[in-house]
Amino acid sequence: MRGRALILVLVGALLGWACAGGRPWGEPTPVGHWKQRASELRELDFMESIHFRWLRRSELPEVVREELLNTYSPDFVDRYRDAYVALGLLPRDLDLVQTLVDLLGEELVGLYSPHRRTMYVVRGTKEQAQQGDSMIVIHELVHALQHQHFPATLDLLQELRHNDDVVLGIGSAVEGDASLTMMASDPNSQLGRRMADAMLFQSILLAELKTSRGVAARVPRLVSVSQVFPYAYGTPVAAETYAADGNRGLNAQLLSPPLSTLRVRFPDEERAVEFIRLPLETLALELAPQGCELGHSNVAGMLTLRVFLEEYEPDGTHEELVRDWAGDRFVHLYCPDGWELAWFTRWSDARAAARFARRYRALAEAVAESAPLSGVPSVIEEGRSALVLTPGLLEQAPLLLQQSEIRSYRSFGEWKSDDCFPESPCPGSGATAQTGSSRQSMK
């Protein structure tokens, strides 16, 4: 829920919003009217009050920084970044917090902070249509409604720290709902909650991603793609859900969101998602005499896999391979002779695992050049598994293949009922502090 909403202005320009009849600049904000409109559209009541604050663009970076540091400790951010550096997808010298502050400070227009019960909206120019303000506010008010009616789901966005794939799946349900609802918020607009509107929204977002300017053009591709994904692909899923069962369907999706980015990108894919628990404690004990220390562990998922392939093989074809992804988990380790990486991947069948292994081997030297690894990674195949290991972990291959635990789930509900394996105990049972906005994940 953290990110930008410049897309609202682009859609507005495309559909020719008119300023005629709008409230004069400087009039009191009709927050009560907007709350009523959001409540009517989503058929949900506000159960508690929220604060509203207009921001100048110059005030936004500090608000973003406070929200980020309220959620993530500096040590977590460093280890998180280093894990994706080891994977070959972020530069080692990246200041991740400053990158997000710069990116969101330039492009974000709306932000809902549940722990502050406050909605922030960046004041536009006099030329910005009233409908633009209204749609942005409605988007954030939907996040407030989500927070009040589906707190357990939103808590996972805050507290699930080691599975970005699930976080992006949840975020797609959250942002798809808010984006679809905001498009129907202006009765004078041509937009509604139809699939055609959702696909228009998606096409403009993806076009914007390709032609980004300013800070957006300079951030690593993993960051920009992860920020866009929940909106671009979550909104059509929400449109299909709404067409089938209205607001009841949207509510059901918030209670049981997609379990992976694969399910968001390919909604017809019914194959179970496999979750992996690596034997991290045993691995740490065995490598401790060498002076190694565990770093961050996470799940790449379909989306990050696609970004990885596109980064290192920009002219390749990736659709079939990424759709064959079944699950994964990677872990990064700090060692005196260079960083180590273990990336345990699962595939739909042994042939898909072999295809990934061949592709990765062809790219392994380039990955090693981009990150301070101990050497060029190797790939070990075993049935539907393909295990990527740096040189210092090759002796640990039997341990990782034999002692890693794999469980399959077909739905979010199944996974959560199993105590969010392997993140048990299931995150999200504590205080809510997730930030909502008009995009998602630390990536």
Amino acid type, 102: D
Specify the pLDDT at position 399: 98
Residue 12 has pLDDT above 90, yes or no: no
Tens-place pLDDT, residues 252-282: 999 999 999 999 999 999 899 999 999 999 9
For residue 127, name the pLDDT band (cuts at 50, 70, 90): very low
Tens-place pLDDT, residues 75-96: 999 999 999 999 999 999 999 9
Residue 345 has pLDDT above 50, yes or no: yes
Q: What is the mean pLDDT of the chain?
A: 87
Out of 188-192, 205-209, 304-308, least confident range: 188-192
Mean pLDDT for the stretch of residues 324-352: 98
C-alpha triplet 338, 341, 342: angle, nearest 5°: 150
Residue 169 has pLDDT above 60, yes or no: yes
For residue 1, name the pLDDT band (cuts at 50, 70, 90): very low
Largest Cα–Cα distance of the chain, in whole Å? Answer: 73
Residue 434 has pLDDT above 90, yes or no: no
Residue 319 has pLDDT above 50, yes or no: yes
Contact yes or no for 356/380 (Cβ under 8 A): no
Specify the pLDDT at position 250: 98
For residue 286, name the pLDDT band (cuts at 50, 70, 90): very high
Count Cβ atoms below 10 Å from residue 187 Cβ, excluding itself. Answer: 7
Residue 233 has pLDDT above 80, yes or no: yes
Q: What tokens appear for 29 in the block?
A: 């904000």
Specify the pLDDT at position 132: 60
- Nearest residue to 163 (alpha-carbon basis) of 416, 399, 437: 416
Out of 98-102, 238-242, 261-265, least confident range: 98-102
Residue 9 has pLDDT above 90, yes or no: no
Alpha-carbon dihedral 7, 13, 16, 21, rounded to 10 degrees: 80
Q: Residue holding tokens 């009849």?
A: 21
Specify the pLDDT at position 217: 87
Alpha carbon distance 179, 440 (integer Å): 13
Residue 42 has pLDDT above 50, yes or no: yes
Peptide bond between residue 314 and the one before it cis (omega within 30 degrees of 0): no
C-alpha triplet 203, 208, 210: angle, nearest 5°: 100
Mean pLDDT for the stretch of residues 314-343: 96
Out of 31-45, 126-140, 197-211, least confident range: 126-140
- Strand-pairing partners, residue 53, are 120
59 Cβ contact list (under 8 Å, min separation 6): none
Specify the pLDDT at position 20: 27
Amino acid type, 242: Y
Specify the pLDDT at position 136: 87
Specify the pLDDT at position 31: 79
- Nearest residue to 232 (alpha-carbon basis) of 158, 180, 273: 180
Q: What tokens appear for 155 in the block?
A: 């808590």
DSSP conformation letters of 359-379: HHHHHHHHHHHHS-BSS--EE
Tens-place pLDDT, residues 200-230: 999 999 998 988 888 888 999 999 999 999 9
Residue 412 has pLDDT above 70, yes or no: yes
The count of C-alpha atoms lying within 13 angstroms of the C-alpha of 126, restricted to the half-sphere facing its C-beta, is 4
Mean pLDDT for the stretch of residues 299-314: 97
Greater pLDDT, 10 or 248: 248
Helix-strand-coil split of the chain, %, nearest 5: 55, 15, 30
Specify the pLDDT at position 437: 41
Out of 81-85, 113-117, 283-287, 423-427, least confident range: 113-117
Residue 343 has pLDDT above 60, yes or no: yes
Per-domain residue ranges of the chain = 6-18+26-268, 273-409
168 Cβ contact list (under 8 Å, min separation 6): 226, 229, 230, 261, 264, 301, 303, 440, 441
For residue 116, name the pLDDT band (cuts at 50, 70, 90): confident
For residue 14, name the pLDDT band (cuts at 50, 70, 90): very low
Alpha carbon distance 321, 340 (integer Å): 25
